Structure 1
Amino acid sequence: MKPPSSQGLRLTCLLLALASLCLPIPLWKDRDSLMQEEKAQETGGNLVLSRQEQQLNTKLVSLKKMEIATAMTTGQFPPSMHFFRAKRLIDQSKVFNIIKLMPKGAVLHLHDYAMLSVGWLVYNATYLPDCYICFTHTGTVRFRFSKPHPPHPVPAQCSQWVLLESYRKQLHNVSEFDRSLVRNLTLVTDAPEQAYPSQTFIWKRFEEVFLIASGLICYAPVFKAYFYQGLLEFYEDNVQYVEIRAILPTVYELDGTQHNKSWSVAIYQEVTRQFVKEHPDFLGAKIIFTAHRMLNVSQIKEAIVTAMALRAQFPDTLAGFDLVGDEDEGHSLWDLKDALTIPYSLGVNLPYFFHAGETGSLLQGLLLVLHGHFHLGAVLTSHPLQQQNFSAIILHFKVKQCLSQPQVLTADTHQSN
């Protein structure tokens, strides 16, 4: 077969050029229109900025571009780094420190044992009188307040209780000891990829940290002060409302007296009202009662009944119910459906705020929604097909990349959807 002549090539090019002129709609206009439509649908896309707001926006964009340029030069781009390594750079960011001053609205995913800087626990709570410590064979610790005698019994695989005040007096370097306590109460490590190679490892450490903190936080005077101080930290970051997921563990007094869940919710309510009175521009706080998804169906049923009773007693404080713990290791929503449908069967309104979708139980939750059993808070970004199929259902979306990355749910946050 002979190759086409030069005249034939010229004729072909001319025909293609003429065909492009015959297109009914200019493609570049479609592109511009689509770009503008997408911009309008972005958060704040329809807002008209004042002159001062435009000036601030210009400055923020300029600072952002400078920080990106610096990151490209140094090779340290925080969104592509592990959060533990990136936090120092984030704290130094001018953009971040401007954003800290801006109103945040609400924090809707907060846990009772993780709502306050651990430094407060170490440098305040552990310095209170009658605080005891014991050391486990794995290098962790346990705390307990007690008087007039040391706590009893000693936790499994733990040394004898030692009065912390006396123990510190024997140390040559109290500052280093206190820093070790901070490390005991956090997930932070110099080599997170090696320390937490999978979700199993991170969840084990995650729950160990909460166990360590519980001995401090569940002491009644600390319980009240911890919650108030937590609200204050968020208030100082310009957060105006919080919802706290709380297991409502037993709170104890110095003499060993124990308080029930109703007492704890009453304290949350009392402290919140006091805080709002002292900070009138703060909107308030609500509690989401939680149970661990490792519990069996009978135990979850008991928790649901408790949640209904607490919501009836504290309708303005208890927002609803959730399950906590590793989705893959614990029971799925579908496994627990007989317990979760109890409020619906009794005609009781108990809102649910489940983390469904972090590792794969999203579809089960959506099926229960379709059957009218409860409202579901879920993450849909990694389930595009389910997002399309259930687009008519109003769900609560949340993006929490700083938590998802340490939990080994994503490695590079700037590549996440």
Structure 2
Amino acid sequence: MALNFAEYMEQRTALINHDRSLRPDHSRTPTEVEARADKIVRELRAAEAVSVWGAEHEGVPHPFPGMEFLTGRNIIMKTELFKILSKMPKGAILHAHLDATVNAEYVLKLALDYPALHVCTTELLTASNLNNILPQFKPLAQAMFTNPTVALTDTSYAPGTWVPVKTARETFDPALGGPEGFDKWAIGAMTINPSEGESAARRIWEKFTSTFTVSTGIIRFLPLWKRYIYEFFRTSVEDGVSYIEARINFHLIMLITKEWLKAFDQVQQDFKADLKRQGRRDEFIGARIIYTTLRFITLDELDLAWKDCIALKLEFPHLIAGFDLVGPENTLKPLIYYAESLLRFRDRQKEMGLDIPFIFHAGETLGDGTEADDNLYDAILLGTLRIGHGFSLVKHPKLMETCREKNILIEVCPISNEILRLTSSMLMHPLPVLINNGVPVALSPDDPAMFGNMGLTFDFYQVLAASEVTGLIGLGELARDSLKHSTLEVAEKERALAAWEKRWKKFVESIVASNV
């Protein structure tokens, strides 16, 4: 029987709606104000696709929405869409490595306040090798303080000699840029720039790993660490984040983990008190720690790590949120290597009546059937609460179905995935596949200090700009899900969601009001 056009369009609409029925933004009917705000944002996105991304920008030969982040970052910041999203309540950061969450310029500024912090190089710095020699930072005990007679850049400098950071900066050779040259050199070693972001996967991972090597020498100095954590909380809240679950690598500090947790706890209390005095108590629910160690450790070392994690959970039950192993999945040991120890960890928790969920990195790879790709199977079989990255999950329809049925959320880090060469742009990212298949998702920044995607606004922008389907309502559902899938206790989670709903309502109302 022939269809007329009206009947055809009815069937077409029904098919599209059925296809999108698993998306979170189809799970409820939006309010009138939400629908109007969503329409405004969609129209703005379409307009800026022409007026901003269709225009010429110096140094950016072919700009487009969702393009390579490091190249397009300055363009993004000029858009009205970015300004709107910067005010959006974004829920929780569920995937961020604490050592990479504070702006590198601010970290260096903090370092200059501490005479104990020193710097050295393994070679004499020259104009030809400056960009290839990494600074090494280290706090020294007062008895070991140095008073070098030569500058870090002096021809008579002996490689390996520790120089106070402030002295090194003030005496940096004018031919290499003077103090500003020192800043550029040090900050460049702690971040990834646009040209490096275009490197092959192996080289970008080498650069990425080296940024941690450099910054750790500064960050893991306890007096500075406290100010560092405070700044992470402050900038996160300013970006609309109300709850955090941060990963800390305890591998190198296992013998003194208690001191680091105490510092984290005290800073959090101080920060909450400051917000309360400002009448902003509901803007920050709190922060917890996902205990992490590295994927190159031995099985015996993993046993020691989870025993340490249990001890910390007993002393700081409100802080320890979960357990993870981190590091490049393509080159380090797979989860199956650690499965026996992890099963012992799980059994020990049951014996003690504890709950320290696994929250594993898995599938952060382009591989298909590789050990890194197979980590997804082991993460799910081991009972992971969430999956970090899960980039290769879309290759496994049964695993996507399992995540949907078991409500396993994927911590997707769009900008990180693009910079680390898993995808060339947001248009190629598998995120829409996850969303369209009803897999719960939360957006996360991963290592914002290295990438320059501080907070969550940039990641939300990239996702919105690169899709014709996802709108403001869809972003709101992702923010809701980040809180729903947190490890907060039931009462705290309800409070967090209630506070978020109030802020979300004001946010969408403000968009409509500004466009009347």
TM-score computed with the length of structure 1 as normaliser: 0.83
Distance 1:60 1:391 in 2: 29
Query: Structure 1 residues 395 and 374, CA, compared in 2 at 3 Å: closer, same or farther?
Result: closer
Q: How far does residue 375 in structure 1 lie from its aligned partner after superposition? A: 3.7
Counterpart among 406, 412, 419 of residue 393 in structure 1: 406
Aligned to 1:165: 166
State the SS of the aligned residue for 1:341: helix
Distance 2:9 2:344 in 1: 56
Q: How far does residue 106 in structure 1 lie from its aligned partner after superposition? A: 0.4
Counterpart among 43, 63, 66 of residue 79 in structure 1: 66
Matching residue's letter, 1:401: P
Trace 1:124-163 onto structure 2 (pairs within 5 A). 124-137=110-123, 138-150=132-144, 159-163=160-164
% of aligned pairs identical?
Answer: 23
- TM-superposition CA deviations, 1:351-371 (whole Å, max 9, x none): 11111111254544435644x
Distance 1:369 1:246 in 2: 22
Query: Structure 1 residues 301 and 259, CA, compared in 2 at 3 Å: closer, same or farther?
Result: closer
Q: Do the aligned partners of 1:291 and 1:322 also contact (CA within 8 Å) in 2? A: yes
The number of equivalent residue pairs is 381
Is 2:262 aligned against 1:266? yes
Distance 2:379 2:360 in 1: 12
State the SS of the aligned residue for 1:109: coil
Aligned to 1:187: 192
Q: Do the aligned partners of 2:386 and 2:410 also contact (CA within 8 Å) in 1? A: no
Query: Structure 1 residues 296 and 151, CA, compared in 2 at 3 Å: closer, same or farther?
Result: farther
Q: Do the aligned partners of 1:136 and 1:159 also contact (CA within 8 Å) in 2? A: yes
Distance 1:26 1:116 in 2: 56
Q: Do the aligned partners of 2:322 and 2:357 also contact (CA within 8 Å) in 1? A: yes
Deviates most, 218-227 or 64-73: 64-73
Distance 2:43 2:309 in 1: 49
Trace 1:2-401 onto structure 2 (pairs within 5 A). 19-20=1-2, 26-38=7-19, 41-45=22-26, 46-51=28-33, 53-70=34-51, 71-74=53-56, 75-80=62-67, 82-137=68-123, 138-150=132-144, 159-171=160-172, 172=174, 173-193=178-198, 196-198=199-201, 200-248=202-250, 260-279=256-275, 280-281=281-282, 282-346=284-348, 347=350, 348-359=354-365, 361=372, 363-367=374-378, 369-370=380-381, 374-377=384-387, 379=390, 380-388=393-401, 391-401=404-414
Distance 2:104 2:244 in 1: 19
Q: Which runs of 4+ in 1 moved over 6 A?
A: none
State the SS of the aligned residue for 1:405: helix
Aligned to 2:466: none
Matching residue's letter, 1:142: Q
Distance 2:10 2:160 in 1: 74
- TM-superposition CA deviations, 1:30-69 (whole Å, max 9, x none): 3212333455654334243344x45543432232112111
Query: Structure 1 residues 29 and 92, CA, compared in 2 at 3 Å: closer, same or farther?
Result: same
Q: Do the aligned partners of 1:218 and 1:250 also contact (CA within 8 Å) in 2? A: no
Aligned to 1:11: none
Q: Do the aligned partners of 2:197 and 2:420 also contact (CA within 8 Å) in 1? A: no
State the SS of the aligned residue for 1:120: helix
Matching residue's letter, 2:267: V
Aligned to 1:5: none
Q: How far does residue 213 in structure 1 lie from its aligned partner after superposition? A: 0.8
State the SS of the aligned residue for 1:72: coil
Higher relative contact order (CA 8 A, sep 6+): 2
Q: Do the aligned partners of 1:131 and 1:163 also contact (CA within 8 Å) in 2? A: yes
Query: Structure 1 residues 63 and 136, CA, compared in 2 at 3 Å: closer, same or farther?
Result: farther
Matching residue's letter, 2:164: L
Matching residue's letter, 2:40: K
Distance 2:401 2:374 in 1: 12
Aligned to 2:417: 404
Distance 1:217 1:249 in 2: 15
Query: Structure 1 residues 299 and 31, CA, compared in 2 at 3 Å: closer, same or farther?
Result: same
- TM-superposition CA deviations, 1:326-366 (whole Å, max 9, x none): 11111111111011111222225321111111125454443
Distance 1:170 1:367 in 2: 53
What is the CA RMSD across the aligned residues, in angstroms?
2.7
Q: How far does residue 263 in structure 1 lie from its aligned partner after superposition? A: 1.3
Q: How far does residue 144 in structure 1 lie from its aligned partner after superposition? A: 1.9
- TM-superposition CA deviations, 1:118-155 (whole Å, max 9, x none): 11111222343332110133410011223434469xxx
Q: Do the aligned partners of 2:360 and 2:384 also contact (CA within 8 Å) in 1? A: no
Q: Do the aligned partners of 1:341 and 1:373 also contact (CA within 8 Å) in 2? A: no
Aligned to 1:6: none
Runs (5+) with no aligned partner, structure 1: 1-18, 252-257
State the SS of the aligned residue for 1:79: coil
Q: How far does residue 92 in structure 1 lie from its aligned partner after superposition? A: 1.6
Matching residue's letter, 1:266: K
Deviates most, 178-187 or 221-230: 178-187
Distance 1:145 1:400 in 2: 32
Distance 2:73 2:242 in 1: 24
Distance 2:190 2:424 in 1: 23
- TM-superposition CA deviations, 1:208-256 (whole Å, max 9, x none): 11111111111111010000111101011010011110013667xxxxx
Deviates most, 222-231 or 204-213: 204-213
Aligned to 2:428: 415
TM-score computed with the length of structure 2 as normaliser: 0.68
Deviates most, 313-322 or 118-127: 118-127
Distance 1:63 1:165 in 2: 47
Q: Do the aligned partners of 2:196 and 2:204 also contact (CA within 8 Å) in 1? A: no
Q: Do the aligned partners of 1:143 and 1:215 also contact (CA within 8 Å) in 2? A: yes
Q: Do the aligned partners of 2:76 and 2:82 also contact (CA within 8 Å) in 1? A: yes
